Amino acid sequence: MTNVSEAVTTEQGSAITDFGIDTTTLSTREALRDYVARLRGGEIGSLPAILGLIALVVLFSLMSDVFFSLNNIANLLAQGAGQTIIAIGIVFVLLIGEIDLSAGTASGVAAAVLAMHFVDDGNLLNGMGSTVFYIFIALMVLATALAGLLRIWPGVAFSVLGIVLVVVGFHANPWIEMLLAVCVGAAIGSITGFLIAKIGMPSFVVTLALFLAWQGVILQLIGEGGVLGISSSHVLNEVANGNLSTAGSWVLCAVAAGGYAAVTLGGHALRKRRGLVTSPTPLVVAKVAALVVFAIVVTALLTVNRSPSKLIVISGVPYVVPIVLVLLVAGTYVLTRTTYGRHLYAVGGNVEAARRAGINVTQLRASVFVISSSCAAVGAIVYSSKVGSVDPQAGGLNTLLFAVGAAVIGGTSLFGGRGRVADAVIGGAVLAVVSNGLGLLQQPAAVVSIVTGLVLLLAATVDAISRRRVAIAGH
């Protein structure tokens, strides 16, 4: 049990904003010294990614007059949302020391089914052809059975719901299409998780094989050179291209910033009243104030009309922002406030100790792939909405690499046991800024790929060095 407890608390001690010390013995200055000492010991969390993000923003703002324009800020938020959402799911897989190489093409399959359901007015039998349609139904039934064997009830529920949506044949409806995409994602994750956790196959081999298999499925559904357009649906188009109203933007700001402040300050006050270990009050207040001010400034900028034409008004926070925020809050809550989250860190820290402590490691390992593929399906909805269509390249290699890269660049360890959902958001922001900034500077795709690869390599190097320092400090 001691090993499990240590594994669970490792992540809590490595968060860059966590000054987890006893305020009865340390002042704010002493807490800062303690934090610096932990940084030197290798517990750096997302700090390199945050510093890199700031440096990139400053660099591109100096090199391009357009970078800080209102239009570009809004575009930047939507540009990396799809890969960031996929990265959020991959964080759960990385936490237990596994990898999901099929997340990209799994999102492509979900996007293809979504688009086909819309284009064929809900008649997938006609769109797929009878043979492919019945194979599709059989796979959904198989996913339901496998999720049931592992007692992953969300996987069962979404797989069954997907079967119902397909068999009943509802007419084209954007909300049904988006729900169907998530159902397909959950079914794919159930199959993947069973092969890895129950059969015992290496996650690298399984997900690499499925990466290729799902790529073939996308080609089969859409056809080589084919394109399925979804831009004619107002709702599907607005997911990545629409904006909240001015009033809605400020409501979002109040709920997000106010909720964060209430939870953080309330939790801090409660811990102090109970005499528990907590951060120094000035540091907590400063952190909350910084985030609230940032939220207000960004909201104020985005509620200004950014349309180049006087005949059209374009303003408000893009819809993708609340989508990412909901996933961020939900994922953070699951990892930090639930038994399931604590078990994930335990398995990632020491799988054998977790098993001996009574944790159902098989079920846990399978469940993270259901989460990963479901998030990949949500990411598919966003990036398909952004481009207005789905083609055979949907969810291709770059989608996967950027999603994994976002998680790693943000600070999630490739070796398991350390990471947060916020890491995916931070890493996604870094990659979006790189792509956006180099695009504004009219750099070719080759340069963008080289720079992105170097950023990912640097992040992996920092992760390896920090783990070595932590190991040395532990001795």
> What is residue 198's DSSP assignment?
I
Q: Could you give the CA distance from residue 131 to residue 390 in angstroms, rounded to a whole number?
A: 22
Contacts of 231 by beta carbon, 8 Å cutoff, 6+ apart: 237, 388, 389
Q: Tell me which residue has tokens 């940032």.
A: 294
Would you report the helix, strand and coil content of the chain in percent, each value rounded to 5? 75, 0, 25
Tokens of 377: 């399906």
d(CA 75, CA 348): 36
Q: For the beta carbon of residue 269, count every other beta carbon within 10 angstroms.
A: 13
Closest to 96 in 3D by CA, of 311, 278, 368, 293: 368
Per-residue pLDDT of the chain (475 residues; tens, 9 = 90+): 444 444 444 444 443 344 444 445 456 777 777 777 776 666 677 778 888 889 889 999 999 888 988 888 888 888 889 999 999 999 999 999 999 999 999 999 999 999 999 999 999 999 899 999 999 999 999 999 999 999 999 999 999 999 999 999 899 999 999 999 999 999 999 999 999 999 999 999 999 999 999 999 999 999 888 899 999 999 999 999 999 999 999 999 999 999 999 999 998 888 888 877 777 888 889 999 999 999 999 999 999 988 887 788 889 999 999 999 999 999 999 999 999 999 999 999 899 999 999 999 999 999 999 999 999 999 999 999 999 999 988 887 678 888 888 898 888 888 888 889 999 999 999 989 988 898 888 888 888 888 888 887 887 777 777 767 666 655 5
Decide if 91 contacts 407 (C-beta within 8 A): yes
What's the count of helices (H) and strands (E) in the chain, helices before strands? 21, 2
The packing angle between helices 320-337 and 70-79, to 10°, is 50
Tokens in use for 474? 């532990």
| Strands 228-229 and 389-390, sheet pairing | antiparallel
Q: Look at residues 460, 391, 390, 440 and name the one whose alpha carbon lies nearest to residue 177.
A: 390
Which pTM value belongs to this model?
0.90
d(CA 145, CA 164): 15
